[in-house]
Chain A
Amino acid sequence: MGLDIFRHKIIDEDQISQAITTALLASVEQERRGTNISRATLSSVLTLLASLSATCFSALFVSPFLEASVRFYQEEAASHTRSDSATKLGASQYLQHVVHRLTEEGERAESVLATQSGSSLKGSILHVVETEMIRNHVENLVKGLPEYVEAFAVVGNLPEGSAAQESDLSRLYTVLARVQLLDKLSASWYTYVEVYQSLG
């Protein structure tokens, strides 16, 4: 009952609800860009919103969050893949960056909402990253294949359990498996095995 009053009097005030949404999104973006934020505060606000009503939570946080995340990751992927971009990354760096973002987003979602809302949020945000950074840039990821195979010749000969065992080749497979695009990789692999000539 107290929460209902709270909801009606405060949350339903457009200015307040918009301010809350803006602040939440700004917080997440700051952390994505490398600034430390208060996870405790973020977690408290989100937990509160989630306890009000599903509609409230969705309207004030989930929907705007996912929309903003799509834009964020679209821009980020473009900045790292466009040939004229100052922050363009090589195939291996981009791949490792994708893995880093997936881990970061999953961890954030789990830590700020330790409930069913949390795992649902995690699924949704990971889907955004997968779409914007992997699915929409498959060619960029796959073109690194010859380079990863050469690198694997080194990594693959390290003793089992060695820290550097995780290879780009393995990451590439994992990342494409997530978006059901392994057929792109197997086609590239076929071409590699059949015709590729490495540099001397």
Chain B
Amino acid sequence: MKYLGVFMSACALLYCGLIEAQTGLEVMQRNKDCVSFSTLQSENELTITNKNGQKRTRKIKKIESLDSEDNKSMVVTFTYPADVEGTALLSVEKSDDRWLYIPALKQSRRIPDSDLSSSFMGTDFSYEDLENEEITEFEYQNLGVENLNGQKCYHIIATPKTKTKQKESGYSKRELFVTTDHYAAVLVKYYDKKGNCFKELRSSDLRKVKNSDKWKFYKMEMVNLKKKSTTTITVDDYVIDQKLSAETFSKRAIER
């Protein structure tokens, strides 16, 4: 028994040592690998709740794809409420193209790239929060493993590395808690340029996506601590890495 205790302690130390041994960059690389996809389809419900408890709910169908150079293309089609049904947003990172289809006018309009720090469709998410993180643009510091709500997490501090990134980012730093098992960021704290934490992304309901080895959050909650508002995204289902036609991310497709 005595030897078993010593052995288990040694294993635990070795395990912790292995965990600790990873650099921040390594952790974030694993995180990126875990969430990456070639195509991703989902049906989401977005609910914005303000400090008075008022809610605004929208339902969207999202199709995303990442090319070999990590460029993202995305189509967001609104399905609820009825008066905006069919309104669709196309965004192609590679060609810097953004189009919005307005069904009532039966017209598509090009809209310019928004500031990274500006709000995504009036929610508490910014465009920056939703973009595919380019890990070479940040410096990651691993502060060690911490217990967060009974879950072991790497405590990572991410700060913009390049001057350009520092300028265009809405944050001075981010504090991430990445689970040691699935490398999923369960909690992200966002700090403004004055160094005050003003937003928190709390992700939950981590599940393995059907027909895939990827794990994804089915509920994400962005809390704006300053405005005291919350945006909750709940995902009905994910379809991952399914082949899509080349036309999916075209102006014609959203007008259909």
Q: Are A and B associated in one complex?
A: no
Instruction: Give me the interface of A with B, judged by CB distance under 8 Å.
Output: none
